[in-house]
């Protein structure tokens, strides 16, 4: 009979997200993970199989949480205002490297070499593009954004911008610099007056 888990699985994954955000997958040692999560080696392997299994669960949980955060941001205010909020929410910073984006970090580290990681990131990206595109459409209907926009192309551009903003935040860009970049992008979508 298998022994029951002696730790909270969700808390362990949340702690692993911080370790992986700080170090990346490859550089995160088993010792780093054990210390960061506060569990023993047997518990790690018994619960997650191996470091890769833990990483996949961490990425899955990180992406799900990020999508919830983005959905909430996209419901605040007018379409353009909500897009700005969504671009700037949860970017992380260079002062707290454990707040870095696990999704962007995994893309940088693995490129397109890992099908399982690709699948997790592709699903999250597709959902996010659709969410941004829906707000762009709403902005077009409200005559707040240019009626000639391709909402899907604009949604993809906004997801790419958000990824770039996350990298810039991790690289030390200030809040005002990040906000200026987001507002400049929004001006490119705005309806000519």
Domain that holds residue 185: 58-189
Instruction: Read off the pLDDT band of 6 (50, 70, 90).
Output: confident
Distance from C-alpha of 59 to C-alpha of 182, rounded to nearest angstrom:
26
Confidence of residue 16 (pLDDT cuts 50, 70, 90): very high
- Global pTM reads 0.91
Let me know if residue 42 belongs to a domain. Answer: no
* Average pLDDT, integer, range 145-166: 97
Q: Please count the structural domains in the chain.
A: 1
For residue 160, the Cα-to-chain-centroid distance in whole angstroms is: 11
CATH of the domain at 129: 1.10.357.10
pLDDT at 193: 60
What is the three-class DSSP state of 145? strand
Joined together, the tokens standing for residue 172 give 């030390």
Please tell me the predicted confidence (pLDDT) of residue 1. 44
Which tens digit of pLDDT belongs to each residue from 170-187?
A: 899 999 999 999 999 999
Residue 131 maps to a domain: yes
């Amino acid at each position: 009979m298998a022994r029951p888990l002696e730790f909270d699985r969700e808390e362990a994954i949340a702690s692993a997200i911080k370790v992986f955000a700080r170090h990346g997958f490859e550089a995160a040692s088993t010792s780093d993970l054990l210390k960061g999560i506060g569990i023993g080696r047997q518990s790690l392997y018994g619960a997650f199989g191996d470091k890769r299994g833990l990483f996949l669960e961490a990425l899955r949980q990180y992406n799900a949480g990020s999508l919830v955060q983005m959905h909430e941001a996209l419901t605040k205010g007018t379409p353009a205002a909500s897009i700005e909020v969504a671009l700037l929410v949860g970017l992380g910073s260079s002062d707290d490297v454990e707040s870095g984006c696990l999704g962007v970090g995994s893309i940088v580290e693995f490129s397109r070499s890992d099908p399982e990681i690709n699948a997790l990131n592709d699903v999250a990206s597709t959902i996010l593009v659709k969410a941004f595109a829906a707000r762009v459409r709403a902005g077009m209907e409200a005559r707040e954004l240019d009626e000639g926009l391709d909402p899907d192309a604009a949604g993809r551009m906004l997801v790419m911008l958000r990824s770039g903003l996350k990298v810039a935040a991790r690289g030390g860009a200030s809040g005002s610099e990040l906000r200026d970049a987001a507002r400049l992008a929004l001006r490119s979508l705005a309806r000519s007056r």
